[in-house]
Amino acid sequence: MAALAAGAGARVVDRVLQSRDSAEAATLIGSGKVEELSARVQATRADMAVFDRELSPTQLRNLERALATKVLDRTQLILDIFARRARTREGQLQVEYAQLNYLLPRLSGRGIEMSRLGGGIGTRGPGETQLETDRRRIFRRLRKIEKDLERVRAGRSVHRRKRETVPLATIALVGYTNAGKSTLFNRLTGAGVLADDRLFATLDPTVRAVTLPSRRKALLSDTVGFIRNLPTTLVKAFRATLEEVTEAALLLHVVDASSPAAAERTAHVFKVLHEIGATSIPHLMVLNKTDLLSDAGGQSEALVRRIVGAVESETNPAAVTVSARTGAGLDGLLKAIDESIPADPVAHTRFRFPLRAGAEMHLVHEGARVLSVAYSDRYCEMETEAPESLRRRLRRFIQRR
């Protein structure tokens, strides 16, 4: 939470921890803790209180009244950071969509300023409250953003289909935020992606080519980092971006091995991967920042075992230790990627082309072994031994038995 607050530009002046069996419906923390917190706010002259939980509209309103200061919850803080980091039009739309979805049920908690009577052109009449007007405006804006994001999603699908025309596997970097994904991405590809010691320094995915030891080329994609209790509104808003993960041939799960919470963060990442349906994709664990580990007493080896053990046993991932900052272990990582990426297997395939699809038929003759060709009045049928990359490109022409 301190790192999130610093990422949003705040300076932490005090911390309060409470342990209780259940949350208080009105204030989350109970009346006694509210009084203690109010005294600390006054003593430190804090102008904001940040809660490491998502607050209901009622809790938010009651806490602001009791503490006489601005109150933010975890979701608001993460959304604020995302809003600061978003640079592309896509990222800004995704953040705005998440913010409006978060704000909508909380309009009623904003007090009297949201219940003034409205009137004039564009409202339902002189009896409509300002709250209802704002809700309608937000609904209209959400529908507009949804349409824009669908266009973004369609555009990403087009880009992916274009990439599929070239027989290159796509590798997606995933992991907890600030695990060193962008630094590793720059090391492997020579790209100039922003790599900063901040949470969520990278929001917009970047794709670059990387050459493997076998001289094969692959596409490496740097994606947004995950975090525990990632707001569901963000998961939904960043669906188009997260599809880069679900469409990958291999996941590089980057872990900050120097973090004391590495095992827990690894489990959180796998939880998000499960939510977006990406757990079935082959993955390789990359234990990064090993230059910060001490080898005294075999501590680094024990840490590696604990991190790998945090993963569900049935996934049984391979693990590679590297330091993206110094470059140590990168040769071993590239070799492991080379061995993990699926090859381009050849399979017996029957294509059925309309006679006008001359370009596609030419591709088959160039990229596959043609066993037989049969023409009819409307179609050309080919028996082939075709690689997967070509089958993926021409899948709409494959004749199913």
Residue the block writes with tokens 């990403």: 156
What residue type is 333 in one-letter code? L
Which residue ranges form the domains of the chain, and what is each CATH number?
2-81 (3.40.50.11060), 86-151 (no CATH), 167-340 (3.40.50.300), 346-397 (no CATH)
Q: What is the C-alpha separation between 78 and 225, in angstroms, rounded?
A: 12
CA distance 180 to 212: 21
| Residue 359: partners with Cβ closer than 8 Å, 6 or more residues away | none
Write the DSSP symbol of residue 115: S
CA nearest neighbour of 65 among 116, 18, 110: 110
The bridge status of strand 217-222 relative to strand 206-211 is antiparallel
Residue with tokens 């075709």: 386
Strand spans (E) along 134-290? 169-175, 206-211, 217-222, 250-256, 283-288
What DSSP designation does 176 have? B
* DSSP reduced 3-state for 140: helix
320 with 353: CB under 8 angstroms? no
The pLDDT of residue 161 is: 65
- The number of beta carbons lying within 10 Å of the beta carbon of residue 195 is 20
Residues in the chain, pLDDT under 50:
109-128, 194-198, 201, 296-297, 312-314
The gap from C-alpha 122 to its chain's centroid, in whole angstroms, comes to 38
Predicted pLDDT at 50: 92
pLDDT in tens, 178-217: 888 888 888 888 765 544 444 554 555 677 888 888 777 7
DSSP 7-23: HTT-----------SS-
Residue 299: the pLDDT is 54
CA distance 272 to 227: 9
DSSP strand pairing (318-321 vs 70-73): unpaired
Q: State residue 373 phi and psi, 5-degree precision.
A: -135, 135
**CA-based R_g, the chain, Å:** 26
> Of 326, 371, 336, which Cα lies nearest the Cα of 350?
371
pLDDT of 149 reads 79
| DSSP states of 31-99 | HHHHHHHHHHHHHHT-SEEEESSPPPHHHHHHHHHHHTSEEEEHHHHHHHHHHHH--SHHHHHHHHHHH
Rounded Cα–Cα distance for residues 36 and 385 (Å): 74
Question: What SS3 state is found at 203?
Answer: coil
* Cα distances (Å, whole numbers) of residue 303 to 210, 294, 307, 311, 349: 29, 10, 6, 13, 48
